[in-house]
Amino acid sequence: MELLEQRILKDGVVKAGNVLKVDSFLNHQIDIGLMNEIGKEFKRLFSDIEITKIFTIEASGIAIAAITAQYFGVPLVFAKKSRSINLEGSVYSTRIESFTHKRVYDVIVSKKYLSEDDKVLVIDDFLANGCAADGLIDLIDESGAALQGVGIVIEKGFQDGGRRLREKGIRVESLAIVDSMDDATGEIVFRH
Amino acid sequence: MELLEQRILKDGVVKAGNVLKVDSFLNHQIDIGLMNEIGKEFKRLFSDIEITKIFTIEASGIAIAAITAQYFGVPLVFAKKSRSINLEGSVYSTRIESFTHKRVYDVIVSKKYLSEDDKVLVIDDFLANGCAADGLIDLIDESGAALQGVGIVIEKGFQDGGRRLREKGIRVESLAIVDSMDDATGEIVFRH
């Protein structure tokens, strides 16, 4: 997605440890106009398949997924990083290791909001080693819902999450795939 | 807001301990059509004042705030519950006690995304004792930005957060104010 790649080149910052900071427009401050274009692009890419729910994980995927859900005309469900006393009762659960936060989370979704009747599109801001996507797919599998695809804003193509998911036959559409980046020079190379 | 009150009566569940569960449409599964109406209503209510940023806190406020930000045509910024290695550098910070999670959070926002030039509208799903709003207002005050108002989807009118904020002269617009609720009968009474 040209608009997104240009924005990453303009405002993204490469940091040591394979960190790409895009918090000026994607996951701390959020450019809603850009999110609208991202939402429309996901709808265009997945226009040929039926979707009944958009599914993401708190927190940084929520804004993107909410805006995207508008274009599909379906509800958004987000998986929660556990511990809420408001979520007693029956949930599907899994564990996700966070690259960003260097810790393991228990992640849950209420059984009421994913069922075997659902056709689910996973939306998230980043795909790197794929741990978050794996966790969301675990929850979808537990529920019996159908995974229709995974829509990612920025895929780190030099980590193996995208390859692993595609090898399993999962349809992954990433709006920008970074093949390499260099924190010394700031260079970012996209896959085309 | 009539549409919202009707939805709370239809799908809200009153639980012991002053808990109003609205996770079927507001903060776990999210009805995006309703969020669009909520966003339009916030825009109508705050149409007379200049807003340059929508500000909320992760996680349950983000979807509402993102959809609302569309109608104001301004960026969304969300405060983070600390600990991200992606947020090194200078941040404003405060502490918030969570009623829902029974714990204290360190909450931060990058200094880059709130400044003295900003005119800020706080958006959140719930206002109860006001701890989250107090924390967001602390961050705004630290930054030197102007607090233009607070937009809340559901205010628990029987807790003192709304009264405290209004007594400080802060403009608070709540789309539904629950004056009382009863977990034995399920009754919910709105203020009009």
> For A125-176, what is each residue's pLDDT tens digit?
999 999 999 999 999 999 999 999 999 999 999 999 999 999 999 999 999 9
Residue B141 DSSP class: H
Distance CA A38, CA A27 (A): 14
pLDDT grade for B100, boundaries at 50, 70 and 90? low
A74 neighbors A54 (Cβ within 8 angstroms):
yes
Residue B161 has pLDDT above 90, yes or no: yes
> Which pLDDT belongs to residue B105?
84
Q: Measured between CB atoms, which of A66, A86, A100 is closest to B100?
A: A86
**B23 and A87: CB-CB below 8 Å?**
yes
B162: helix, coil or strand? helix
Q: Is the CB of B28 inside 8 Å of chain A's CB atoms?
A: yes
Q: Measured between CB atoms, which of B19, B32, B66 is closest to A63?
A: B66
Residue B85 has pLDDT above 70, yes or no: no
pTM to 2 decimal places: 0.95
B41 residue type, one letter: E
Q: Give chain A positions within 8 Å (CB) of B84.
A: 100-101
Q: Considering only CA atoms, which of B157, B133, B192 is closest in space to residue B1?
A: B192
